[in-house]
């Protein structure tokens, strides 16, 4: 039964990731362009030589450099704030969680990068690095604190707790690196797509596919990026499996109320204040434009008449819903099969290696292949192409595997029905993972730029990107303020009532849990 429950996730993996990866790799060894008749001659390694001459590997290194400050933010500042918060007591822990709820949902590359460009101008690599780090600082510090608080959640202090913290830190750092390697709009928006040898990998591939119409070099760039991301995914899964990390949701009655510790609380609040000041600095261009002021001048905050229609709202919110629901549910089903039914016994987590090469691969490196497949099927210009063809959320599969494993162990040790002890505690995680996935799909300007070939297919981020060339303002178009308020309220409730009870732990390898 465990293997049977994995099959739907594995089939979705083949369709969404494996098949387009193979086609992308195939195209990288052939000549061809958008206007070819479908025939392509073998090119050997010529496309790889061409991208090396055009500065792709320098851009790859630059994208990796973008991860430096975010990794420090999440794995150092986040870990330190989590430690101080954990020692400060229950009141401190919950107040810090709530304070970081709003910064964590400010996920709008178009809104943030566009506002940064208007207020502070574009610039070179350093400007892009600062804009990327500061604009998303709230996300990095918030996720870091949430993860490390979960690793510190067990009441006892032991070497096993240290192991959990180290494993979480390593995987979080790898994830931030993979995320940075797939940066698109922060580089494209702040440099207006300028190509001067330090384009990020996705910008490089986008330019060669949809501006130069040269498939071979673009496929070679995406293949190299895919290989790097695949190696990172394999390392991350190996760390999780080797450390025997698993999740748990502690019953509220078993969580002791930690007394207020003034010394630790002062340290936590000082560091939290510094983090929030940094968040405000990062989002200040967006806030200034949202409030209707830019360089002290009053501006309009409403988009031009007719720019946003009912169809625009439908295009924004509905297509993203399908891959979110299907991808997260298949991940939960597969995670249950591996984490609860344990088809390989204590080694079942190693089954995640089947999915590991695509753990951190977004739609970006595969977008060109998917677009041409849609074109061959004569779907170009169809509303259906707005639906991101990602039918499995692989990070969610890993999360649910670890969570179900820990919940199943708790049930085995303490009894209780399967539904009440395992399934019910995992349900809120569907909202956590699903909500984040949904926001990411909604704000995926890269896929929207590729597929929205007609004005009737425009989305809110795409409208915000389009009107910036002729109109100043409308910062709230890409990420409506009502979305921020609702998302922050939901996340705040989950932080208070659910995520505060989630823990990450390891065991001794012989079944003894710590």
* Residue 384 in tokens: 């259906």
Residues 480-500 have pLDDT tens digits of 889 999 999 999 999 999 999
C-alpha 269/C-alpha 92 separation (Å) is 8
Residues 35-79 have pLDDT tens digits of 555 556 777 889 999 999 988 998 899 999 999 999 999 999 999
For residues 394 and 13, the answer to whether their CB atoms sit within 8 Å is yes
**511 in a domain, yes or no?**
no
DSSP secondary structure string for all residues of 457-483: G--HHHHHHHHTTT----TTTTS-HHH
pLDDT of residue 509: 46
pLDDT greater at residue 113 or residue 339: 339
**510 in a domain, yes or no?**
no
**Helix (H) or strand (E) run with residue 246 in it:** strand 246-249
pLDDT of residue 497: 92
Q: 385, 262, 269: which is closest to 322 by C-alpha?
A: 385
Cα 273 to chain centroid, rounded: 25
Average pLDDT, the chain: 88
* Residue 346 in tokens: 């204590």
Residues 99-144 have pLDDT tens digits of 999 999 988 888 888 778 777 766 677 878 888 899 899 999 999 9
What predicted TM-score, i.e. pTM, was given to this entire model? 0.92
**514 in a domain, yes or no?**
no
C-alpha 455/C-alpha 463 separation (Å) is 9
**222 in a domain, yes or no?**
yes
Instruction: Look up the domain containing 216 and give its range.
Output: 2-30+42-505
**231 in a domain, yes or no?**
yes
pLDDT of residue 194: 57
Q: Which of 30-34, 254-258, 358-362 has the lowest mean pLDDT?
A: 30-34
pLDDT of residue 427: 95
pLDDT greater at residue 400 or residue 455: 400
**37 in a domain, yes or no?**
no
**35 in a domain, yes or no?**
no
**513 in a domain, yes or no?**
no
Provide the 3-class DSSP secondary structure of residue 212: coil
Contacts of 415 (CB under 8 A, 6+ apart): 421
* Residue 323 in tokens: 């891959």
The DSSP secondary-structure symbol of 304 reads P
The domain tally of the chain equals: 1
Residue 463, CB-side half-sphere exposure with 13 Å CA sphere: 29
């Amino acid at each position: 039964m465990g293997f049977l429950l994995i099959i739907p996730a594995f089939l979705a993996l083949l369709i969404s990731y494996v098949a387009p990866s193979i086609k992308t790799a195939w195209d990288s060894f052939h000549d061809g362009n958008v206007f070819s008749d479908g025939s392509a001659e073998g090119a050997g390694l010529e496309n790889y030589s061409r991208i090396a001459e055009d500065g792709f590997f320098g851009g790859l290194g630059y994208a990796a450099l973008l991860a430096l400050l975010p990794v420090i933010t999440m794995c150092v500042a986040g870990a330190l704030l989590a430690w101080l918060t954990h020692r400060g007591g229950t009141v401190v822990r919950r107040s810090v969680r709530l304070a970081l709820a709003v910064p964590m949902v400010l996920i709008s590359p178009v809104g943030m990068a566009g506002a940064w460009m208007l207020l502070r101008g574009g610039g070179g690599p350093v400007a892009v690095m600062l804009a990327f780090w500061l604009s998303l600082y709230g996300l990095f510090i918030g996720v870091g604190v949430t993860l490390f608080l979960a690793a510190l959640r067990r009441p006892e202090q032991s070497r096993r707790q240290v192991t959990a913290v180290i494993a979480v830190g390593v995987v979080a750092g790898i994830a931030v690196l993979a995320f940075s390697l797939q940066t698109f709009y922060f580089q494209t928006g702040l440099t207006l797509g300028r190509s001067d040898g330090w384009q990020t990998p996705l910008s490089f591939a986008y330019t060669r596919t949809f501006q130069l119409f040269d498939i071979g070099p673009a496929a070679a760039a995406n293949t190299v990026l895919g290989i790097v991301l695949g190696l990172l995914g394999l390392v991350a899964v190996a760390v999780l499996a080797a450390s025997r990390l698993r999740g748990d949701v502690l019953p509220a009655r078993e969580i002791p109320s930690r007394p207020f510790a003034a010394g630790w609380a002062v340290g936590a609040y000082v560091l939290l204040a510094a983090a929030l000041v940094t968040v405000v600095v990062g989002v200040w261009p967006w806030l200034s434009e949202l409030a209707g002021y830019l360089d002290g001048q009053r501006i309009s905050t409403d988009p031009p008449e007719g720019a946003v229609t009912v169809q625009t709202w439908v295009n924004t919110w509905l297509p993203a819903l399908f891959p979110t629901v299907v991808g997260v549910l298949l991940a939960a089903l597969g995670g249950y099969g591996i984490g609860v039914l344990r088809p390989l016994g204590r080694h079942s987590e190693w089954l995640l290696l089947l999915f590991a090469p695509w753990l951190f691969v977004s739609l970006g490196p595969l977008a060109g292949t998917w677009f041409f497949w849609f074109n061959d099927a004569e779907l170009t210009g169809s509303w259906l192409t707005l639906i991101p063809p990602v039918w499995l959320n692989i990070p969610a599969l890993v999360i649910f595997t670890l969570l179900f494993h820990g919940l199943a162990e708790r049930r085995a040790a303490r009894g209780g029905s399967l539904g009440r002890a395992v399934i019910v505690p995992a349900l809120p995680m569907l909202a956590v993972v699903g909500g984040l996935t949904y926001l990411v799909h909604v704000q995926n300007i890269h896929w929207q730029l590729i597929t929205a070939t007609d004005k009737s297919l425009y989305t809110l981020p795409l409208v915000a990107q389009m009107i910036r060339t002729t109109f100043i303002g409308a910062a709230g178009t890409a990420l409506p303020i009502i979305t921020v308020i609702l998302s922050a309220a939901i996340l705040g409730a989950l932080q208070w009532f659910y995520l505060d009870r989630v823990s990450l732990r390891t065991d001794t390898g012989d079944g003894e849990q710590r």
